Amino acid sequence: MTVNSPHLFVTLIGDVDNEPFARVKYGHLLDALRRSFAVDACDATLRGLPRLFNALLAFAPQRRRWKERFYQNLPAFELRSAGVARALLKRAGAVDLVLQIGVLYDACRGTIPAVIYTDYTAVLAGRRPELGRSPLTPDERRRWIALEGAAFQRAAHVCTRSEFVRASLVDDYGIPPDRVTAVGGGVNLAPLPVLVPRPANAAPTALFIGKDFYRKGGDLLLSAFAEVRRQLPRAQLLMLTEGPIPADLDLGGVEIIPPTWDRTLIQSLYRRADCFVLPSRLETWGDVLLEAMAFGLPCIGVTGEGMGELIADQHTGLLVPP
């Protein structure tokens, strides 16, 4: 970074310096930006009284539903937007560009040029509301899409991870094609791993990483793996996930690992595997696919969304119908 480097204001959900999930997901991006620009990172997470207020407004009897609504509801969108606006006001005159990661709020309402980087849209999520990415009533979803669309319209440019999501920005939100660019996403590993061959006599092992068991297709994988075990009795399946797992699914040869942000543990799982499987019902991008490829693993994913832009069918893995 030079003395006269442009000053970026990067806003996202999560504290990149102190929270493991934010560090893993966005730490390398922030590090790369800081090598070329002056960067202020602003955590848009609701804390203190606003967080409590949001939790009360979002309450639902089912804990999972409550959690989904806690992150995605209309008052939370406005509270986060207001918090980011206050943070920007304190830096008036010092910021050249705003980079907003995700669209759970709007940091584009001021006079400073802003770029949004997103992996999905509310319109896409609303087509499969049963999968938890859109825990809104039809009226709430319509109003949320309007807020999201206004942010996209105000942004100087929108970057998406996939061409699939870029098409949604153009077709569903009316953003001019020249203002939307699919830029992909990097692998969340540094340095890249040194590849070590698996022992020739090791049991054939597949790996699945997906906290949301159902949305990530964990039940589909277990059903398929039971068939695999009939042909390959030594086959093993490692699943880093969070249930509930239906009791009628066969767990023979399956090791369940609780979700974690421990990168040493996760890298050890990649090293134990021969292939990576992610039969998601809805997948915004697939960071874990890139990580698996960094460990030399062929990947099995599904057609229809962004995975087809990561997996070269029959070359770096297989794509199957959802």
Report the alpha-carbon angle 306-286-156, nearest 5. 65
CA angle 205, 206, 210 (to 5 degrees): 145
Chain centre distance of CA 195: 26
What whole-number distance in Å separates Cα of residue 66 and Cα of residue 158?
Answer: 30
Residue-level pLDDT at 133: 66
Name the pTM for this structure.
0.93
DSSP-H helix ranges across 58-155: 63-71, 74-90, 122-126, 138-154
| CB count in 10 Å sphere of residue 179 | 14
Question: What pLDDT is stored for residue 5 in this prediction?
Answer: 82
Residue-range domains of the chain with CATH: 7-182 (3.40.50.2000), 205-320 (3.40.50.2000)
pLDDT score at 62: 87
Which burial class, exposed, middle or buried, applies to 192 when counting CB atoms under 10 A from its CB (0-12, 13-18, 19+)? exposed
CA 310/CA 319 separation, integer angstroms: 10
Coil vs helix vs strand at 9: strand
Give the per-residue pLDDT at 2. Answer: 56
Torsion sign (Cα): 304, 305, 309, 310:
negative
Region label for 133, one of left (φ > 0), alpha (ψ between -120 and 50) or beta (otherwise): alpha
d(CA 101, CA 147): 16
C-alpha–C-alpha distance, residues 320 and 322, integer Å: 6
Residue 64 has a pLDDT of 82
Per-residue pLDDT at 192: 93
Q: Say which amino acid occupies 53.
A: F
Task: Beginning with the edge strand found earlier in the chain, give each strand of the sheet holding 299-302 in spatial order.
Answer: 254-257, 236-242, 205-212, 275-277, 299-302, 317-320
List own/partner pairs for 30-35 with CB under 8 A and 24 or more apart.
31/190, 33/8, 33/99, 34/1, 35/1
Distance of CA 99 to the CA centre of its chain: 17
Instruction: Kindly give, in sequence order, each residue whose CB lies less than 8 Å from that of residue 149, ignoring residues fewer than 6 positions away.
Output: 173, 174
**What residues form DSSP beta bridges with 209?**
240
Q: What SS3 class is residue 208? A: strand
Q: pLDDT (tens digit, 0 to 9) for every residue of the chain, 322 residues total? A: 556 789 999 999 999 999 999 999 999 999 999 999 999 999 999 999 999 999 999 998 888 888 888 989 999 999 999 999 999 999 989 999 999 999 999 999 999 999 999 999 999 999 887 776 678 889 999 999 999 999 999 999 999 999 999 999 999 999 999 999 999 999 999 899 999 999 989 999 999 999 999 999 999 999 999 999 999 999 999 999 998 999 999 999 999 999 999 999 999 999 999 999 999 999 999 999 999 999 999 999 999 889 999 999 999 999 999 8
Q: pLDDT tens for residues 162-206?
A: 999 999 999 999 999 999 999 999 999 989 999 999 998 999 999
pLDDT reported for residue 131: 73
Tens-digit pLDDT profile for residues 275-321: 999 999 999 999 999 999 999 999 999 998 899 999 999 999 999 99
